């Protein structure tokens, strides 16, 4: 995997600092555990709207990056429309790589 952002997402999963899937990510945002939400560019419109509304309300940074397939591969599972980083250091590093 040559993409550094996807590598950081995989590292977060190995460290136990990642939640994946729309429902679990939304719960992490509501409970204040989420430091960054990464949404797949090809996520369903309804999923995108629900997660965007939640992150706006709870003031959690949101980035749109990759596809459902690439996010799933990065964490070693099937397709994922969203992943949530729960570690502030990893979240900050991913944001710095994106910008």
CA dist 79 and 89 (Å) reads 25
- Token digits of residue 16: 């136990």
The predicted pLDDT at position 99 comes to 80
Domain around 37: 4-98
Other Cβ atoms less than 10 A from the Cβ of 93: the count is: 18
- Count of the separate structural domains present in the chain: 1
pLDDT digits (tens, 9 = 90+) for 38-87: 999 999 999 899 999 999 999 999 999 999 999 999 999 889 999 999 99
Q: Return the CA Rg of the chain.
A: 12
Confidence of residue 2 (pLDDT cuts 50, 70, 90): low
Q: What is the pTM of this model?
A: 0.91
Which whole number is the average pLDDT over 2-12?
89
């Amino acid at each position: 995997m040559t993409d550094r952002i996807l590598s950081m997402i995989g590292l977060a999963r190995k460290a136990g600092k990642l939640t994946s899937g729309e429902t679990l990510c939304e719960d992490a945002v509501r409970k204040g555990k989420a430091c960054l939400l990464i949404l797949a560019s090809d996520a369903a419109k309804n999923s995108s709207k629900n997660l965007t509304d939640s992150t706006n309300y709870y003031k959690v940074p949101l980035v749109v990056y990759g596809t459902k397939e690439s996010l799933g591969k990065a964490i070693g599972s099937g397709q994922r429309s969203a992943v949530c980083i729960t570690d502030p250091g990893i979240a900050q590093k991913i944001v710095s790589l994106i910008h």
